[in-house]
Amino acid sequence: MSISTEEKDRYLRETAIVLAREGFQTDRTDTGKLRVLLDGALLCEVTENGGITYRNEDINEPERVAAKDIVYENVRITAEYMRQMETAPFLKADGLEDGYRVLADFNDIVLAGIQSKYGVQFVTWDWSFDRKGVCHGHYYTGLYSSGNYDAAKRDFATRSGLIPEQQVFREEQLIEIYRCCTDTLQGGFELSYDQEKTIQEVRKQIEECLPDIMERIQQQDAEPTQEQTM
């Protein structure tokens, strides 16, 4: 399905906002494509269908390969929710500003998105008993960190009962699990092949959920600890 010029422009503007949060620079080419720069040098270009193109000479170092992978994951996720935003119906509720679109609705919980100058922002609400209004909003603005879309989806899934809350780990829990897995693998413990394989798989799964987990751990380790004074 082809997309209009307006839809393409909205998608590329949103992608530029998302990538800026991740520390990438972007600009437009003469033909309107979005170029992604790392340290001032071209890394890749974003395609209008939710992918990227790149030259091997532009990702000739491990750091640039890793950066390219981060760009692709953000581009993929952005394309996913922008496609939904273009076709989703508007949310009609008493006292609610116009512009919210219904991305999911189940068990009297609604997941909605709205476009703003900061990028698309998400929220989950309870429907009122008569389904004329919404309340108890959980807002995911993405102003200070990435991942607001995934966080909103997780919140909707648990809040609506699609997934039991006990089966979903919070990000801080995942970080501590990752630490424990790493300490176990590096601690010289006697592990069977299956045990080591399982722990490695857990680490990899957490890395896929939190691509910046090493940065988060480094930030935590750099924070001064509170020492008890006498």
**Cα gap 124→140, rounded to integer Å:** 9
As given in the structure block, the two tokens for residue 193 are 């092949």
Identify the CA nearest to 101 among candidates 83, 126, 118, 75: 83
Q: What is the pLDDT of residues 93-111, one digit of tens each?
A: 998 989 999 999 999 999 9
Place of tokens 């399982």: 198
pLDDT in tens, the chain (230 residues): 567 888 888 999 999 999 998 889 999 888 778 999 998 899 999 988 888 999 999 998 999 999 999 999 899 999 999 999 999 999 999 989 899 999 999 999 999 999 988 899 999 999 999 999 999 999 988 654 445 898 899 899 999 999 888 888 888 888 999 999 999 999 888 999 999 999 999 999 998 878 778 888 888 888 765 544 43
Indicate the CATH number of 5-86 among 2.60.60, 3.40.50, 3.30.250, 1.10.20. 3.30.250
How do residues 136-160 score in pLDDT, each as one tens digit?
999 988 654 445 898 899 899 999 9
Q: Residue 54 burial (CB < 10 Å; 0-12/13-18/19+)?
A: middle
Domain ranges of the chain: 5-86, 89-167, 171-222
Residues contacting residue 71 through CB under 8 Å, at least 6 positions apart: 19, 22, 24, 36, 43, 44, 46, 52
